[in-house]
Amino acid sequence: MTSTSNGLYLLIGALLVVVIGLGGYIYHEQTKPRASSSASARMASRCRKNSVFLI
């Protein structure tokens, strides 16, 4: 009976670790600062202008 209880506690603990880890990952991905499309367009434009000088 105690090995079944220990296995159950181990399973519950493993599930808790997975749920907490997945929650942290999702939270981190959702709160990442994202560059706006206009900012990325400006950066691409600058790179194209600067590449002329490198060639």
The string of pLDDT tens digits covering residues 15-47 is 999 999 999 999 999 998 876 556 555 666 665
pLDDT for 52 beyond 70: no
Instruction: Provide the token pair at 5.
Output: 């209880």
3-state helix, strand, coil in the chain (%, to 5): 85, 0, 15
Q: Which two tokens stand for residue 49?
A: 């202008």
Residue type, 18: V
How many domains does the chain divide into? 1
pTM: 0.54
State residue 32's pLDDT score.
Answer: 86
Write out the two tokens for 35: 């560059």
The DSSP secondary-structure symbol of 11 reads H
Q: Which residue has the higher pLDDT, 4 or 11?
A: 11
The whole-number pLDDT of residue 34 equals 75
Structural domain harbouring 26? 2-54
- Kindly state the tokens that stand for 42: 């400006």
Two structure tokens written together for 55: 């060639």
